[in-house]
Chains A and B, each alone.
Chain A
């Protein structure tokens, strides 16, 4: 594994390796020495051509805990916003000797373009490309689900997870569908028909337009952020109607299995796709997802950059 562009690049065992490595790194981070020397002297660039605070900070924290040098290259005030091409930016980063580039970009496929064009030789990590994928988010979600619900198993076999909301525009949903099903979970997408892509019928998932019909049978609900501009694009009539049919509220919360958890990749629109009491309830693992994000991203950086021979598979 040279890059992490899409969950489809990972085998099931590679995905489990990342989750297991993240567990080990999380344990190490809980010890007295938070910082590991593993990536000392390596340069990691955070190339964020689209606004994102939490993902950038999470990757930055992960890289720093592994002692890497981190350069933040964000859209505002950078050459990206001045119309420099992705190719020129990549060649610049290459010339500066970046060992890895973590890229967030509004164009689907931007990370793949960066990796596959020989514009640069370093590892490329997709931190969200347009409406395509967000693999590190899916990995931290799977990690969180596994911790709570897998009872010591390595995969997610037998679990039922609902992904609720704007699947059409969601890179989180795409990566999660690939990863959760790869790990053996059953996935149900819950959304208004307007927010599901044409072609979803060929995805390895069940589709429902009725949140209430699904809520009692799931082990986890993953609420997706709904962007307010979707209303002006006529995907649904208004926020009130959206919340009524597809929002997580205390009534639906109460009907969930006793063990079921509530997830959200953030940032949340409280009162739209999730009510405040749901977000802050005992079922909510939303804050924990953020914590786990750092461990999972450490594992990704470690496995891509620490010179682990491919044959040894695991963190080794």
Chain B
């Protein structure tokens, strides 16, 4: 039986239009469409975007199902307007074999709300010592193309070189968590004036920048594809700008929280603001926004990092690093990038859908909203405000730094492969 939907009165690339969906495809875009037997939604005032793609998500299954499962993370993703997410490898056990990535992939398929693309570990156990079975993960049913030890940096330069070379075999990419480990031992927050006052051990910007600099040179030397996870510093942006000007094959991401929040929030000693890499300064935030607008930073990625309550209800230095991100990402981008005039909606579609799909080689995602394309669609009302309530999120965890904030943009509906996976108020 065919499922038919008719989305009425949404902004599609600047034109108020209707979108007809049949089965998995967009069958018509135009004004005053009529589709017999279709379920109609009038989304006047909303904008339609291609389904969002997240290249950096932590789902905690297997191992920490109290914090998040593939299902609950998929639900959070659908609510946030995502149709594809990338499950990071630092689970327990680590996703460093074909068996684990296939398990995560199948859990995603059975949840059926988004495509869950597993990220494979670069090294066994993300310990940074021996290469994981990268080829087997690439050839598995999960068809892994993105490899990352995220949470840890692939620090050993020889190992990083080998990894960059090895993934060329199947057009893979290494997504590097850029953090010099010696300069960040026991580090708690951005190193600067605030850390000097709070007596919390600093995580200096140079610990990120020195690894980015090393890696872009290495990617150039071996002609491989490098992706820099969660860039947070002005200096990191400058290095990536330089690398791109030299034609080096590097892409980079920024998180919504690093586009809005600063290290001043640590003054509360509330570990809800503890994240790795840490919140930086106002001038870093402004540099990151500019870089995303210019395309120096290619994409937005959430780094959605669910944590059980007890790992945040404690002393700062004992707490886990990480913040939720999936359900608030699009409104935060609306607030920081669109309402400020830095990006228009077609650029948002690029930064949050087309470009991440391209980097991850997720062929069935990221295409623009055109007749005949796969019906992955996000509909958001950008002017409607909502107050974030950590108790009313789809995620199993509550560690959002935006709790209590009123943010602009309500995802009205998400369509994944032509099926509706989220409807506001439903």
Contacts and interface: CB of A to CB of B under 8 A. Distances in A.
Contacts, number: 71
Nearest to A171: B199
Interface stretch (B52-60, B173-181, B187-195, B239-247): B187-195
Interface string A107-133: 111101100110000000000011111
Given A198-B192, A199-B196, A202-B193, A86 B314 contact: yes
B98 to A, nearest CB: 37
Given A198-B192, A199-B191, A108 B197 contact: no
Contacts of B200: 108-109, 130-132
A285 B118 CA distance: 65
A174 B199 CA distance: 8
Interface in B279-319: 310, 313-318
Interface in B161-212: 191-202, 204
A105 interface: yes
Given A108-B200, A109-B198, A131-B199, A199 B316 contact: no
Contacts of A198: 191-192, 195-196, 202, 204
Q: Which of A85, A105, A116, A198 has the most CB of B within 10 A?
A: A198
Interface in A157-198: 171, 174, 197-198
Given A107-B318, A199-B197, A202-B196, 14 more contacts: A86-B314, A87-B314, A105-B315, A108-B200, A108-B317, A113-B269, A113-B314, A116-B269, A130-B199, A198-B196, A198-B204, A199-B195, A200-B196, A203-B196
9 contacts: A109-B315, A113-B315, A113-B316, A129-B199, A171-B199, A198-B202, A198-B204, A199-B191, A202-B196
Contacts of B315: 86, 105, 107, 109-110, 113
B353 to A, nearest CB: 39
- Which 10 pairs across A and B sit closest by C-beta, in order of nearness? A109-B269, A199-B196, A132-B199, A107-B315, A131-B199, A197-B196, A199-B193, A108-B199, A112-B269, A202-B193
B268 interface: yes
A108 B198 contact: yes
B309 to A, nearest CB: 10
Contacts of B268: 112, 116
A88 to B, nearest CB: 10
A214 B270 CA distance: 39
A199 B313 CA distance: 28
Interface in A87-114: 87, 105, 107-110, 112-113
B129 to A, nearest CB: 25
Contacts of A116: 268-270
Q: Which of B195, B198, B199, B317 has the most CB of A within 10 A?
A: B199
A234 B197 CA distance: 23
Contact of A107 (B191, B194, B202, B316): B316
Nearest to A170: B199
Interface in B247-270: 268-270
Contacts of B270: 113, 116
B269 A87 contact: no
Interface string A4-42: 000000000000000000000000000000000000000
Contacts of B202: 197-198
